[in-house]
Amino acid sequence: MRKHILGATAILAAFLAPSPALGAEITVSVGLHPSVPGAPPPVVRAAPQLPALIQKSPSVWELKLDGTKDIIAEVTLALENDPDGYAALPVTLRVPFHRSNRIDVSLYSVKEDDSTAAARELYATPIRNVDPVELFPLYQRAYAQATKRLNSLESGRRFYAFDAQVFFKLLEIVKELGLHSYLVVNPEISNAKAYLQRRIADPTTSAVVANNIQGGTEVVVALIKQVESIETEQLKAIWNYIKNQEQLGPSQRELACKWYQSFERLLSTMPIGRLDRLERDSQLATLNTNAVTQCATRSAEQVLAIQGTLSPAHKAEAQVRLSESVSTLSSVQSGPLSAALVVRKQTLGKILNFR
């Protein structure tokens, strides 16, 4: 009997164990490109003001998430006090809860230059296998050039080869930073992407893209699809981390179940268009619904199995856990479940209804 009591207590302890908060340190270096002798460096600010985001120095923040409340946090870094003629696009990063290493960001204010020489240099710059921290200044340069060119084009200027090359290079950089640094694709980048798509679709301008981007239109279309799936790839990486943790034993399995529920809350806040794309690209919504239901079903079954061996002090805690499982099972209605899981859920529902 003592073995059963100890085993039941261990299961309950795994249920109730708090999720450890992991911390990611965000370190920002700032500067001007090109440099201005004697000019003070810009000042970096982080937003929004989150309880989990703690500023440790003028350019270092620590973000701690435990995954049970927020699976990710979006942190926007922006520069202030730019010299005249310089500008910097705020950088928003999607920081996952399990990120515990240092995140290095180079945030540069760049001089607006849409000359053909600047465009030629940008397009010729290789970005494959480049450290992400070195891509951030290039990202700012590409954005500044693309914005100036886009404003001119939307005012009626003719579309030229250097326009196509600048937009293409910007999207290349965004893809790399999105996959490796969890950069969020902001509306300004989406505008440049949409403009390039229109030029490809227009028979009068598609040749400009095809003849001036190495690999032609097919390469550009593939890149656009990759940029559009950045959020999916980021969330898929987070979900796969949770799935892998679930395999590491009972205590990690229970933590993973809490993280699945947090992931479900994140999905519930997504606009329908983004959620549809996520499901179409990865079926993550369906996979997570299955995982949440599986966790709640297993949890309820385990509590029912050990109730008779618990001490009075632990029975109240077990009832709380059982109530949470029942509430979760009741709330998860959408998404196709596996046949075996449907049977388990229905059987468990009958047991709970007759208690």
For range 277-286, the mean pLDDT: 88
- Cα–Cα distance measured from residue 9 to residue 293, given in angstroms and rounded to the nearest whole number: 24
Would you say residue 9 lies in a domain? no
In this predicted model, what pLDDT tens digit does every residue of 72-107 receive, in sequence order? 999 999 998 888 888 888 999 999 998 877 899 999
* CATH value at residue 28: 2.60.40
What is the pTM (predicted TM-score) of this model? 0.82
In this predicted model, what pLDDT tens digit does every residue of 161-217 receive, in sequence order? 999 999 999 999 999 999 999 999 988 899 999 999 999 999 999 999 999 999 999
For range 128-155, the mean pLDDT: 93
Burial letters 142-152, b for 16+ CB under 10 A, else e: bbbbbbbbbee
Would you say residue 239 lies in a domain? no
In this predicted model, what pLDDT tens digit does every residue of 8-30 receive, in sequence order? 444 444 444 455 556 789 999 99
Given 110, 139, 162, the domain boundary residue is 110
Helices 161-181 and 132-154, axial angle in degrees (round to 10): 140
- Cα–Cα distance measured from residue 352 to residue 330, given in angstroms and rounded to the nearest whole number: 12
Please check whether residue 52 is in contact with residue 289, taking contact to mean a CB–CB distance below 8 angstroms. Answer: no
Structural domains of the chain, count:
3
pLDDT value of residue 273: 85
Given 110, 133, 157, the domain boundary residue is 110
For range 158-162, the mean pLDDT: 97
Given 76, 110, 144, the domain boundary residue is 110
pLDDT at 58 over 60: yes
pLDDT exceeding 70 applies to what percent of the chain? 78
- Model confidence at 2, pLDDT cuts 50, 70, 90, reads very low
Would you say residue 14 lies in a domain? no
- Cα–Cα distance measured from residue 172 to residue 70, given in angstroms and rounded to the nearest whole number: 30
Would you say residue 77 lies in a domain? yes
Average pLDDT of the chain to the nearest whole number:
83
Phi/psi at 96 (nearest 5 deg)? -75, 155
pLDDT value of residue 153: 95
Of 212 and 343, more confident? 212
pLDDT value of residue 347: 56
pLDDT value of residue 349: 55
Residue 78 domain boundaries:
22-110
